Amino acid sequence: MTMVWEEAALQRIRVALEGVTRLGVAFSGGVDSSVLVAAAVRILGADRVVAVLGVSPSLAADERTAAHEVARFIGVPVVEVATFEGDRPAYRANGPDRCFHCKDELFTRIDDEVIAAHRLDAVGYGENADDSLRPDRPGARAATDHHVLRPLVEAGLDKAAVRRLARSWQLPCADKPAAPCLASRVPHFQSVSPEKLRQIEKTESALRRLGLGNLRVRHHGDVARIELTEDDLLRAVHEPVRSGIRQAAEASGFRFAAVDLAGVQSGAFTLPLVRVDG
């Protein structure tokens, strides 16, 4: 039964890629983009798929390393493209449309540097059918502007289906939690800066070394507001984890560490500020 479902899903992706012979995929090493790369390899062949990784201060070093490991497992090359969204005033201003400016920068760089060099005739990215319905995804508008394909959406694959494919193909990221960019930890209308991103990255890395799993460090000036899973919330109030959390925040330049009892919240800053047009 699993093989029948998997082949049916792959066939729908094949239809979405009809006419494509060489594909570049905007790649993060997360589940969605990894499944798209793995599916494209099955459809086009590994020598006709390129994983394109945007590198900037908003990409944590651990995420960069993990992305290369996933690509190596799948068997495709990674092309790193330096992006400079931090040079854009609208990105630094950090409105609810920040992701648009980030994705617009990435897709512009792919157009300029990658398509000709690798003889690509299309670029895709890993939006899934669930995310396509969310109002807090302004990056999708950039994809439309640059004619970037959304094969998983076209195939009708939601988050659960994408996870199922990842597990079936035994991808290393199959059970990896969502990992939005570091800039998503800065409240809207407070400027994004390399210094803030470094603080966030350093604190999150230290917290993971304490054995804490899926987490976010939200930047509130002197305060690191830390979101943890329900299980980790219980651990956070006991030693030595409690002291470790405080020390991690202080070592990164925060004065205070506050653990948010609401836990991990996707779209915590953006969802309250956006609306569905029309």
Give the β-pairing of 256-260 and 223-228: parallel
Name the band, by pLDDT with cuts 50, 70 and 90, for residue 135.
confident
In the numeric block, which tokens belong to residue 146? Answer: 């640059």
Name the band, by pLDDT with cuts 50, 70 and 90, for residue 99.
very high
Choice between 207 and 271, residue whose per-residue pLDDT is larger: 207
Residue 262 identity? A
- Residue 218's φ and ψ, nearest 5 degrees, are -90, 135
Average pLDDT, the chain: 93
Query: Cα–Cα distance between 220 and 74 in angstroms, integer?
Result: 39
Name the band, by pLDDT with cuts 50, 70 and 90, for residue 139.
confident
- Residue-level pLDDT at 273: 56
Whether pLDDT at 269 is above 90: no
Whether pLDDT at 267 is above 90: no
- Residue-level pLDDT at 137: 78
Name the band, by pLDDT with cuts 50, 70 and 90, for residue 132.
confident
Whether pLDDT at 277 is above 50: no
Whether pLDDT at 104 is above 50: yes
Name the band, by pLDDT with cuts 50, 70 and 90, for residue 15.
very high
- Residue-level pLDDT at 1: 52
Query: Cα–Cα distance between 128 and 160 in angstroms, integer?
Result: 10
Name the band, by pLDDT with cuts 50, 70 and 90, for residue 276.
very low
CA distances from 270 to 112, 172, 229, 267, 278 (A): 30, 29, 20, 5, 18
Whether pLDDT at 24 is above 90: yes
- Residue-level pLDDT at 133: 83
Mean pLDDT (whole number) for 7-11 = 94
H-assigned helices in the chain = 2-16, 31-44, 61-74, 89-93, 98-113, 139-145, 151-154, 159-168, 194-209, 230-236, 241-251
Mean pLDDT (whole number) for 54-74 = 96
Question: Tens digits of per-residue pLDDT, 195-249?
Answer: 999 999 999 999 999 999 899 999 999 999 999 999 999 999 999 999 999 999 9
- Residue-level pLDDT at 219: 98
- Residue-level pLDDT at 138: 81
Helix (H) or strand (E) holding 23: strand 23-26
* Domain spans, the chain: 2-168, 182-260
Q: What is the DSSP string of 121-168?
A: SEEEE---TTGGG-SS-THHHHHHHTT-B-HHHHTT--HHHHHHHHHH
Mean pLDDT (whole number) for 113-120 = 90
Whether pLDDT at 94 is above 60: yes
Looking at 3.30.460, 1.10.8, 3.30.70, 3.30.1150, the CATH number of the domain 182-260 comes to: 3.30.70
- Residue-level pLDDT at 111: 83
Topology annotation, domain 2-168: Rossmann fold (3.40.50)
Is 222 in a helix, a strand, or coil?
coil
